[in-house]
Amino acid sequence: TAASGRGMRAVGVLGLGALLAWLPPAHTDTFSALRSVRQARGNEGRLLRRLRAYLREESARLRRLSRFYEKVRALHQDPSASVDNPLLAFSLIKRLSSDWPSVVYSSEATENSRALHVGFQELQRELPGAEDLDGAARALMRLQDVYALSVKGMANGLFQPTSTDRPPLYSPGRRVSLSADDCFHVGKVAYDTGDFYHSIAWLEEAVSRFRLSYGSWNPEEERGSLEDALDYLAFSYFMAGNISHALTLSREFLHYGTWGSDVVPGSWGEVLECLYHLYMGLGQWGAEVGCPHSAWLKDTADPVVRALELRMAAITGLDLRPPYAEYLQVVNYGLGGHYEPHFDHATSRKSPLYRMKSGNRIATVMIYLSAVEAGGSTAFIYANFSVPVVKNAALFWWNLRRNGDGDGDTLHAGCPVLAGDKWVANKWIHEYGQEFRRPCSRDPRD
């Protein structure tokens, strides 16, 4: 009926208004959110015309290169085209002295690209930014909640309620589906704010879509990936209390992930060993008991150390910047080298660990930089298990419970090296700086 049609359009307008709630606008307070988006659409049209001009010029340039290539290739494949012919000899010399340098050192491609860059830079201040994108993602979640919309339906371009027996609330003239990376971004925005209810729904859809295209070439070079989505989804389920499903997803992440067991690329281990020899004896606290050969490396010691710090931060989700974490310790265990049973965290307030004024050691990352022929496992005494030495693999554990008490199950020891040369890197992370990354709990059982 006409009334129902008006109601349907009203729902559509209300939904669009919620989606476009970028207030305040990024670059001017005089625009409403809807006008901001219309302006953005106009700017994209201008960029599209710039891109069309760029493609036209580049296509013409590449056609000329193709003609040059085919001409020269035909001469090389023609057995009768002998350099004994003075005309062929002349054309060969001319090509090598004039034509080839023009091809190789041509500035035409650079000029075409520069024109595109200039066109983009002219509009850049008027374009939506990262905050606008995150705001639009939150608006999609708001629509999802207010109208009980299906995430899968939204990803398919439909405003379909979760109750499948109900018709769509709004039918746009042109359906726009979301990519796997689009869904990943919405889920990541929810994840970053601790909203695991929404992050699970959107990351599930992202994982589903990434799986369909896994291993295929992606022309848009999406920033998200199946590995990323699985990683964030597993932690979302973990934080929501679904530990078993989190473990299942973590196993799939390790299967697909580029980390695998190689947290540290092989070449990085070699660099760390070289740095160890350079910095040995310059320890932050000095060598600890049971570690006769150790050195401490700042992240400025080498780009490899910095890259490893960033990788550990990405894996753990913790802040590894000083003073929230200690410098990277590189340890060498020779034949028979071992480490007596100990806790990484301080068990007394008089411990020198508190000199950093950043609290106790909340967590440990330990990386095996080398393999050994026998022995050298890390044994957790009270937990009753051990982890063998696997080159480039890493161990991570929480030293403190959420209530701040030390976890007795983390008592561990480095078993004697029976045969081989054991290299280890340790990163100890402190309480301060992790307040919002691993919130505390008053529950004595946590």
| Per-residue model confidence (pLDDT) at position 441 | 82
CA 255 to chain centre: 17
One-letter amino acid of 33: A
Q: How far is CA 200 from the centre of its chain?
A: 18
Of 114-128, 364-378, 391-405, 426-440, the least confident: 114-128
31-35, 91-95, 124-128, 139-143: segment of lowest average pLDDT: 31-35
Please state whether 327 falls in left (phi above 0), alpha (psi between -120 and 50) or beta.
beta
pLDDT at 216: 47
Rounded to whole angstroms, the Cα distance separating 378 from 333 reads 12
In single-letter form, the type of residue at position 265 comes to P
Mean pLDDT (whole number) for 270-287: 50
200 touches 232 (CB < 8 A)? no
* Band of pLDDT at residue 325, cut at 50, 70 and 90: very high
pLDDT > 60? residue 23: no
Q: Is 90 exceeded by the pLDDT of residue 127?
A: no
240 against 281, higher pLDDT? 240
**Given this model, what pLDDT does residue 398 score?**
96
Query: What mean pLDDT comes out for the span 92-96?
Result: 82
Q: Provide mean pLDDT across the span 133-137.
A: 88
Query: E strands, 36-194, where?
Result: none
**How many beta carbons lie within 10 A of that of residue 77, not counting itself?**
8
Residue the block writes with tokens 């990277």: 328
Given a cut of 50, whether residue 219 has pLDDT beyond it is: no
The b/e string for 34-63 (b: 16+ C-beta within 10 A; e otherwise) is: eebbebbeebeeebeebeeebeebeeeeee
| Closest to 206 (Cα-Cα) out of 180, 234, 240 | 180
- φ/ψ of 396, rounded to 5, equals -135, 135
Average pLDDT for the chain: 79
Task: Give the C-alpha separation, 111 to 399, whole Å.
Answer: 57
- What are the distances in angstroms from CA 291 to CA 285, 336, 351, 356, 389? 12, 12, 18, 21, 17
Question: pLDDT band at 277, cuts 50/70/90?
Answer: low
Provide the pLDDT for residue 295.
Answer: 82
Name the percent of the chain lying above pLDDT 70: 80
Whether the pLDDT of residue 129 is over 50: the answer is yes
Distance CA(218)–CA(172), nearest Å, equals 27
Determine the angle formed by the axes of helices 196-212 and 180-192, rounding to 10 degrees: 160
pLDDT at 410: 95
Position 118 pLDDT exceeds 80: yes
**Over 80: is that where the pLDDT of 28 sits?**
no
Please report the pLDDT score of residue 206 as a whole number.
94
pLDDT at 285: 33
User: What average pLDDT score do residues 220-239 get?
Assistant: 78
Distance separating alpha carbons of residues 310 and 178, to the nearest angstrom:
30
**pLDDT for 430:** 95
pLDDT digits (tens, 9 = 90+) for 153-182: 999 988 888 877 788 888 788 888 999 999
The pTM of the whole model exceeds 0.85: no
Contact residues for 265 (Cβ-Cβ < 8 A; gap 6+): 392
Q: Is the pLDDT of residue 288 over 60?
A: no
Per-residue pLDDT tens over the stretch 43-85: 888 888 988 988 998 899 899 989 989 988 988 888 887 767 7
- Per residue in 365-404, pLDDT (tens digit) is 999 998 888 888 999 999 998 999 998 889 999 999 999 9
Contacts 24+ apart (CB under 8 A), 34-41: 36/128, 39/126, 40/126, 40/127, 40/128
Per-residue pLDDT, 247: 77
Q: Give the per-residue pLDDT at 292.
A: 41
Region of poorest pLDDT, from 72-86, 147-161, 278-292, 401-415: 278-292
Q: Which two tokens stand for residue 398?
A: 């929480």
Residue 3 reports pLDDT greater than 60: no
Q: What is the pLDDT of residues 333-354, one digit of tens each?
A: 866 778 889 999 998 888 888 8
* pLDDT higher than 70, residue 290: no
Could you tell me the pLDDT band of residue 284, with boundaries at 50, 70 and 90? very low
Residue 141 has a pLDDT of 92
